[in-house]
Structure 1
Amino acid sequence: MTAWRVSRRPCRALGLLLLVLLSVLVLRRLDWHSLISPWLRQRRSGLHTKGQNFMLEDSTFWIFGGSVHYFRVPRAYWRDRLLKMKACGLNTLTTYVPWNLHEPQRGTFDFSENLDLEAFVRLAAEIGLWVILRPGPYICSEIDLGGLPSWLLQDSGMKLRTTYRGFTEAVDLYFDHLMSRVVPLQYKHGGPIIALQVENEYGSYNKDPAYMPYVKKALQDRGIVELLLTSDNKDDLSKGVVDGVLATINLQSQQDVQLLTPFLLSVQGVQPKMVMEYWTGWFDCWGGPHNILDSSEVLNTVSAIVDAGSSINLYMFHGGTNFGFMNGAMHFQEYKSDVTSYDYDAVLTEAGDYTAKYTKLREFFGSISGGTLPPPPAILPKTAYESLSPALYLSLWDALQYLEEPTNSEKPINMENLPVNNGNGQAFGYTLYETTIDSPGVLSGLVRDRGQVFVNTVFFGFLDYKRKKIIIPLIQGYTMLRILVENCGRVNYGDNIDDQRKGIIGNIYLNNSPLKNFRIYSLDMRKSFFQRFNSSAWNLVPEAPTFPAFFLGALPVDLPPLDTFMKLEGWEKGVVFINGQNLGRYWNIGPQKTLYLPGVWLDQGINQVIVFEEKMAGPVIQFTETPRLGRNQYLN
């Protein structure tokens, strides 16, 4: 009996250990493979360098990567996009991590639903892709403020992307949270992450020599043990290097490929060569063309990069969409905001369809992979739903009574410093400023980015970067001055990111005298914003609507929903919401003429469509199976 009891103790201990491990699995949300993989086979050295080669453990390794941003693709389509990447012959996924979306309020984090980074990384591993993570804190990515949260700008002395204490304290708290999620997903812990990038293109900014070493240490102090990389444009490469971190380069033209080896040799000697961003296309700005790059040129450049002995990452493999208000902007000679589509003329289209680039690159990577590629998944079907006419309407001026109480202030307050969102200010959307005036004259001031000026409810013009003054006429009786200001997108690249506060900046003047006593409404247009409009708030659409206004319609879907593209001919400028999802901005100046509507955001049955239109409503909202992204312009 004693011998039997002794022999049972190891079994009981093993059972207890398994129970503990299963409890950890549930609490930490780790998949079983990630938990036991380090026990199944030893992972010692991970991705590392040996002379001019990358090595994964003891084998030479080539990085054939592609960029897909989880936050620009509906979660239900992540698998489809990554399977298409695998079928193209790529072995590595790269993605940015947008701080501004993950920490919308200081100390409040969101890694749920479409922002579930861990699920995205684990899915890549399941499909058979390695992962290079680009966690920032600054990422550029044509996203608002380069992915930095707008609440940082509440500090009037803020110096972004430096070792300024107010910035590093915020980064430290963010990295504390983010890296606790990332560390278990590293290669040496059994996960797919083989490398991480230290910040992004810092050589083009280069304002603080202590900053990049700080970011490197911030990653390593929190348990990052994989290979670290930097990423810079060729002209800024030497200014972005960090000791102990592998430099990589960004480029597009075949001419630049000739400089690949000498540029990288000059900054780090004999090391593996890597093009972190080979730009397969380019982004678009409102009022410009749709930029494209010929598929044969893409193939020739990719082939030249590989022939030069370099690993490569295709930026973008699949661009996706700037849903909501996430788009960024450029401001060099003039301010230009980015369009909603992030199609990028990439290897896959905005809706995940194949292109000529995909066909040619699949053949190329298949020829050098030494094996048979998996078959490409079928493309997702599209449809053109019946046009709909909005039945109900609510002018902005009538909607104000349903909103949260406005902020009362002697002077205008910029978006970021408004006392809303638990003290974190307003990040995105529109802000309405109201005050009374008693005389005509010249109205002037700094408005960012685009301010529509009304007297009572009558529109008189715009204030923006080019138009800094407007004439206010004499109007009898009570006179309410209203300025509706839109944040069209904070600059995501350049030296002026510290100067990206939105709304009215400083005083607004009438005849050179500062106006006072403002009521300020925050119109962020999140889901909770529309929940304040009860059914009795809406009216039938009149023959002559008062603008700006909200228009409400219903889209019936009889069969299982499919992807489609919304076309707003006859409408001028605004934002579209489907079942509470913000599809993004439209504007008749183009180039983009349609908005991508993923079928997974539709219900079988009746779907709510809300359009916020600033100036002019069309008779119907149309749908089409094919996108219209504007007049093509070939990139030089």
Structure 2
Amino acid sequence: MLTLLRPVGILYLSSGLLVLAQFRGHFSPRMNQIFLTPSRMINRGVGLKVEGSSFTLDGSPFLIIAGTIHYFRVPREYWRDRLQKLKACGFNTVTTHIPWNLHEPRKGWFYFTANLDFVTFVAMASEAGLWVILCPGPYVGGDLDLGGLPSWLLRDPKMKLRTTYKGFTKAVNHYFDKIIPMIVQLQYAKGGPIIAVQVENEYGSYHQDKRYLKYIKKALVTRGIKVLLMTGDDGEALTRGHLTQALSTVHMRHIKKETYDTLFSLQGRSPILMMVYTARSLDGWGTAPHFADSHMLKKEVREMFNASFSLNFYMFHGGTNFGFMGGSASLDNYLPMITSYDYGALLTENGEYTPEYFSYQDFFSFSLGIPKHPQPDSIPKATYKSVITPYYISLWDVMPYLEEPISSVKPICMEKLSVNQGSGQSSGYVLYETMIISGGLLTTKGHLQDRGQVYKNNPTLRILVENQGRLAYGQNINKERKGLIGDIYLNNSPLRKFKIYSLDMKTKFLRRDLPNIWKPVVFKHQGPAFFLGILRMGNYPRDTFIKMEGWTKGVIFINGQNLGRYWNIGPQETLYLPGPWLRPGSNEIIVFEEFKPGLQIHFTNMSHLGY
């Protein structure tokens, strides 16, 4: 059994990591937690509780050893594999977030099937012997577009996200009415694996409304959430993000004296949970990839466990920003995120073991006495024969077959387009078309978000605008409307009378009934166009990686699934193609290339992410 600790002094190491010392009694990190698993605990009493400076689970001392896996970033067919690998490494808990924007992409239209069936994911975690910490939002961050908030909220010009503004709370209440009853049935007391729920995410860093966190807590509790509630912030924001009757956890790598002092002032000698311990940070298009010092990470983790910290790895397994789910960051400038969410995690983007995985497995076994579990075999990969794309359709040839364009005197931003039953357009591209009678200087005055290309054909002026991902965090998320968000000027005069085409690149967009207008590829063609190729294979499709060598920038689809963006500026050079998304025989590949196409689509059995 783990001895409960009562620290009466502190010691600071050179790394800046706080270590508790001068304990009353002997401290040993070795423990026996093999019986504290969902399958063994049939007769449930109290769940996860704070007892002095430690956690207890059903009255027994419990150390949280957690790792984050996002079910929506992993093909459903591989959920069990990833969860079993988490357990085999020595972890006892999985943390996951619920992205509102994926579950309710259109107002009032909810999706909880296929890759969004989080109830099945949680059930699989329980079967794998894992507890669950759930982060239902409404804002979850997670480097997602708008931090996981649905973009249709921004149709309201007065919207104040993450506040008690009535337009926001009304939408949250409707969303929570749908998902919280599903979560309630998965809680510890009802035989499920959920032992804790996080209230919002890093609100102390945002802090636009003092009443907001209390509102979210009440919204959870009144709907039946009874497990331990947590908040999570970095050191300086802990006080602003603290809630009474909820445990404050830490979202940062190094804990300094000020952090511990703040935690003590908020909740006494409570257990310390490093809720977001990050191996590295996200990578953006056109930037150098981030690296992590694995030796330093191992040293810090050892020190944290020696200090009886609980810990959550963000990410244990990152997965992929399939489609357009990835957001952007705002550092020195706007930084759209790459498609891969490999994140330097203990499992690679496609679920491969890393050397760090085995290092931590050995550490958990030797230092914490956690028995090693059988490891799932590595998933086989394949290198397929390169595919030629012999046919293409220019974007201009497709336009007559798109949905009826919206006519407007002035430009309309993506979120306010009257598509998707009034929910606007959330992602992809928007094409604006107008007529001009003279040439001159075209200026945007900051009204183009994010990336626009201008085409002129006699009197027709077209502007193709791409949403590269809304900010995932920060004070400016309320401003994250995309497309043309205001007037465009020719010689300082605003342009008028637009036709606006929605190019959301969803499955319905690709599956529309088109006549046979594919034309043989002319390799001199430049400009936005769709290219068609067929990948043929045998009876057992395997994982592979697509290498768009020679192509410039665009999006690639396989059997209607949006794999995400590619861009020759790097650092990412390959796109992950899961084997379950392929089928024996013929597989349709459609590429939307914005500039200049390559000659072929290549495949490899190795990921190339620039590091």
The two structures have a TM-score, normalised by structure 2, of 0.92
- Structure 1 counterpart of 2:186: 185
Q: 1:619 aligns with which of 592, 599, 604?
A: 599
Alignment CA distance shift 1:143-1:62 (3 Å):
same
- Structure 2 counterpart of 1:337: 336
- Structure 2 counterpart of 1:13: none
Residues of 1 paired with 2:91 and 2:450: CA distance? 40
Alignment CA distance shift 1:252-1:41 (3 Å):
closer
Letter in 2 for 1:374: H
- Structure 2 counterpart of 1:54: 55
Counterparts of 1:400-411 in structure 2, within 5 Å, are 400-411=399-410
- Structure 2 counterpart of 1:315: 314
- Tell me, yes or no, if structure 1 residue 565 matches structure 2 residue 545: yes
Give yes or no for contact 2:236–2:259 (8 Å, CA) kept in 1.
no
Counterparts of 1:120-519 in structure 2, within 5 Å, are 120-253=121-254, 256=255, 261-445=260-444, 446-456=447-457, 478-519=458-499
How large is the RMSD of aligned CA atoms in angstroms? Answer: 1.5
Q: Return 5+ residue gaps in structure 2 as ranges.
A: 1-37
Q: How many residues align?
A: 572
Letter in 2 for 1:284: D
Please give the secondary structure, in 1, of the residue aligned with 2:453: strand
Give the C-alpha shift of residue 138 in structure 1: 0.4
> Quick one: percent identity of the two aligned structures?
53
Please give the secondary structure, in 1, of the residue aligned with 2:462: strand
Give yes or no for contact 1:298–1:357 (8 Å, CA) kept in 2.
no
Letter in 2 for 1:412: P
- Structure 1 counterpart of 2:524: 544
Letter in 1 for 2:47: G
Q: Deviations over 1:142-197 (max 9, x none)?
A: 10000000000000000000100100110000001010110000001110000000
Give the C-alpha shift of residue 399 in structure 1: 0.6
Q: 1:555 aligns with which of 516, 530, 535?
A: 535
Give yes or no for contact 1:89–1:369 (8 Å, CA) kept in 2.
no
- Structure 2 counterpart of 1:575: 555
Give the C-alpha shift of residue 268 in structure 1: 1.8
Give yes or no for contact 2:392–2:529 (8 Å, CA) kept in 1.
yes
Give the C-alpha shift of residue 239 in structure 1: 1.2
- Structure 2 counterpart of 1:79: 80
Please give the secondary structure, in 2, of the residue aligned with 1:208: coil
- Structure 2 counterpart of 1:628: 608
Letter in 1 for 2:550: G
Residues of 1 paired with 2:566 and 2:484: CA distance? 23
Alignment CA distance shift 1:257-1:130 (3 Å):
farther
Give the C-alpha shift of residue 42 in structure 1: 3.9
Please give the secondary structure, in 1, of the residue aligned with 2:388: coil
Letter in 2 for 1:607: N
Please give the secondary structure, in 1, of the residue aligned with 2:322: coil
Give yes or no for contact 2:186–2:192 (8 Å, CA) kept in 1.
yes
Please give the secondary structure, in 2, of the residue aligned with 1:292: coil
Q: Deviations over 1:224-263 (max 9, x none)?
A: 000000010112111110111100001224xx36665334
Give yes or no for contact 1:441–1:511 (8 Å, CA) kept in 2.
yes
Runs of 4+ in 1 over 4 A off after TM superposition: 257-260
Please give the secondary structure, in 1, of the residue aligned with 2:487: strand
Residues of 1 paired with 2:331 and 2:483: CA distance? 20
- Structure 1 counterpart of 2:4: none
Give yes or no for contact 1:280–1:317 (8 Å, CA) kept in 2.
no
Alignment CA distance shift 1:117-1:204 (3 Å):
same
Q: Return 5+ residue gaps in structure 1 as ranges.
A: 1-36, 457-477
Residues of 1 paired with 2:256 and 2:492: CA distance? 55
Please give the secondary structure, in 1, of the residue aligned with 2:290: strand
Residues of 1 paired with 2:577 and 2:342: CA distance? 13
Q: 2:586 aligns with which of 598, 606, 609?
A: 606
Residues of 1 paired with 2:526 and 2:296: CA distance? 50
Give the C-alpha shift of residue 533 in structure 1: 4.9
Please give the secondary structure, in 1, of the residue aligned with 2:600: coil
Question: Which has a greater percent of helix?
Answer: 1
Residues of 1 paired with 2:609 and 2:331: CA distance? 24
Letter in 2 for 1:423: G
The two structures have a TM-score, normalised by structure 1, of 0.88
Letter in 1 for 2:272: K
Letter in 2 for 1:97: I
Give yes or no for contact 2:364–2:370 (8 Å, CA) kept in 1.
no
- Structure 2 counterpart of 1:462: none
Letter in 1 for 2:140: I
Please give the secondary structure, in 2, of the residue aligned with 1:507: coil
- Structure 2 counterpart of 1:17: none
